[in-house]
Amino acid sequence: MDLFNNLIFGFSEALSLQNLLYCFIGVLVGTLIGVLPGIGPLGTIAILLPITYGVPPVAAMIMLAGIYYGAQYGGSTTAILVNLPGETSAVVTCIDGHQMAQQGRAGPALAIAAIGSFFAGTVGTLLIALFGPPLADVALKFGAPEYFSLMLMGLVAAAVLAQGDMVKSIAMVVMGLLLGIIGTDVNSGVQRFSFGFFELTDGIGFIVVAVGVFAIGEIVSNLGEAQERRVLANKVSHLFPTLQDLKKSWGPILRGTGIGCFFGVLPGTGPSIASFSSYMLEKKVAKNPDEFGRGAIQGVAGPEAANNADAQCKFIPMLTLGLPASGVMALMLGALTIQGIQPGPQVMTQKPELFWGLIASMWIGNLLLVVLNLPLIGLWVKLLQVPYRLLFPAIMAFSAIGVFSVNNSAFEIHLTALFGVLGFIWMRLGFPLAPMLLGFVLGPMMEEYLRRAMLMSGGDPSVFITRPISLAFIIATILILVVMVAPSVRKQREAFTD
Amino acid sequence: MNLEFLERKDFWSGAMLIVIGGGAVLIARNYQFGSSLRMGPGYFPTVLGAMLVMFGVYFVIQGLRSGEKLTSSWSLRALIILPLSLVLFGLLIDRAGFIPALLALIISSAAASTQSKPIEVLAFAVFLTAICVIVFVWALGLPYELIAGIW
């Protein structure tokens, strides 16, 4: 069987000593930043991207992916132990997870979170392996109009489904597209928006934008808020959940996984939406919903499975279509491009070791997280006590070194500072940042596909609706817009955002 | 005249979009626009800039009518000091070397927080710089002069 052979091939790739090492480093760093509030996976991956330049593509992607799902995992550890969600996706876990910890059941809460995450991760991995190849087969038949419509759909969906003001999200996508085309126009050789700086000939560096907006802008924003936090960790005594715990949890884990996989393939929906939906569902189907908020294990199992499944399934559109469904996936796409790999369906056929190796490594990484983290919990809690006043200068230092190491260019450091200011202003005004990054990554590609589509059709824009696949994407785009603008959905969405 | 709109998020959001979008459209006038069949270098930026201006007008109108106010809990100090400390790093790294640039960056950026303590910051800066030298220059082999002209 093909799937089986492919997975074996993937595991043999992922289990090589080098890749295993990078996987280990990735999940360790990921858990670390997941534990620490104030720095998220986006900022960390952006800062660490330059370090992966000298590393072979497979190992680099494995490490970056490890940071990503490790962060989800670390975020829930602190949510349970100290009621501090390290990542936004773990906010829901705080509700019942921390209650369990206060009742002296921190161990089972952590264990069930780990088991749920691991199960969801396994299902997610299988889904990628199952649906990746057929999706890529379809995508290989795409021409320029199909790609343009697909990207349009992806960007609109990402903007509309993201948390925050919908119109602001769409404006941010456009902003990203505009920033993305700065530099030399490939067709005419004209320098666009370079303001006379020769450093802008090749456009603004991807790392510059990501580090500036997500690391620097975030720090500026954090420093404006109250920083004091008291950390009172609960003791973790026995780890193993009781038989009754397991009985109560398997349903939520299954449902959470389903919800996570569904939201995972939708562009723009962060893991927090998946975990939140799972919590609401569990509360609805529970026999005694009163337990929720007072340490119901279902309230930990479901959301934790959901956010991990979501994180995993986000890789499907990125790896098969070259379409980033979230900010982190935009970074991964950027990392691929930097490694000289053109993202898209051909990755699977031309670089099978990358595709299957990455998938297998995610399963191994999830296993590593379970084995590794339960004994390390004490260390993570200690780390939480590092005050932010020391943490942020360290992030500044790593950011500066990371950006500088790309081109040894002081100009890019200054540009990063500028994007830090812009990122802060955007955040203050309520503009979500991830849609901007998606637009930034897709900007040059979209312009190129639009140009080619127009050349193909002789300047007739109806090409987008006369080709069936492209038409389907356009209809889907319109549907998404119509549904989200409908007053009832809009109201619900705003209530949810609060 | 009622100037209350000057405190609203949406008003400033719109203003920001109009400035950036309008600027893009103006600059893009120097690039050939072309036609839909053969899109020139000015085509895409003009369309995108115009879209930003449209969004901007929408937000300005919203902001003039009503809407959420800008909240006041933010740190002007951080907004000024952090970008400047990066600029300082950029200026120093080619001229003075890796160690002075990094020390300057860490110490100056720590000043962005009101809670930093001078002695702690100094000690931490030395400690962190040492770690960065070991990890980035010695272990990862980034080719930087540690102190310009000397090391």
More confident residue, A127 or A270: A127
How many angstroms separate the CA atoms of B89 and B86, rounded?
A: 5
pLDDT at A430 over 90: no
Query: For B30-59, what is each residue's pLDDT tens digit?
Result: 888 887 777 888 888 999 999 999 999 999
**What is the total residue count of chain A?**
498
pLDDT at A97 over 90: no
CB-CB neighbours of B31 under 10 Å: 20
A179 vs chain B: nearest CA distance in angstroms?
Answer: 9
Residue A78 pLDDT grade (very low, low, confident, very high; cuts 50, 70, 90)? confident
- The residue-averaged pLDDT of A154-183 equals 84
Return the domain boundaries, chain B. 4-65, 76-139
Question: Nearest to residue A210, comparing CAs of A40, A75, A393?
Answer: A40
pLDDT at B18 over 90: yes
pLDDT at A295 over 90: no
- The residue-averaged pLDDT of A414-425 equals 93
Q: What proportion of chain A, given as a percentage, has pLDDT over 90?
A: 5
Longest CA–CA span in chain A (Å) reads: 71
Residue A111 pLDDT grade (very low, low, confident, very high; cuts 50, 70, 90)? confident
Tell me how far CA of residue A207 lies from CA of A65, A214, A328, A337, in angstroms.
17, 10, 13, 12
Query: B8 forms bridges with which residues in the sheet?
Result: B69
Query: What is this model's ipTM?
Result: 0.92
- The residue-averaged pLDDT of A274-283 equals 82
What is the structure's pLDDT at A498? 45
A207 close to A406: Cβ distance less than 8 angstroms = yes
CA of A431: which chain B residue's CA is closest?
B13
What angle, rounded to 10 degrees, do the helices at A271-285 and A243-265 form?
130
Q: What is B56-74 written as a DSSP string?
A: HHHHHHHHHH--PBPP---
Question: Nearest to residue A81, comparing CAs of A318, A383, A311, A461?
Answer: A383
With beta carbons under 8 A apart, name residues in chain A contacting B115: 227, 387, 389
- Tell me the torsion sign for CA atoms A416, A421, A426, A428: positive
- Interface check for A394 against chain B (CB to CB < 8 A): the answer is yes
More confident residue, A454 or B139: A454
Note whether B13 contacts A429, CB cutoff 8 Å. yes
User: For chain A, what is the mean pLDDT?
Assistant: 82
Query: For A207-223, what is each residue's pLDDT tens digit?
Result: 888 888 888 888 888 88
Grouping H, G, I as helix, E, B as strand and the rest as coil, residue A182 is coil
Query: For A56-66, what is each residue's pLDDT tens digit?
Result: 888 988 998 89
pLDDT at A146 over 50: yes
- Interface check for A174 against chain B (CB to CB < 8 A): the answer is yes
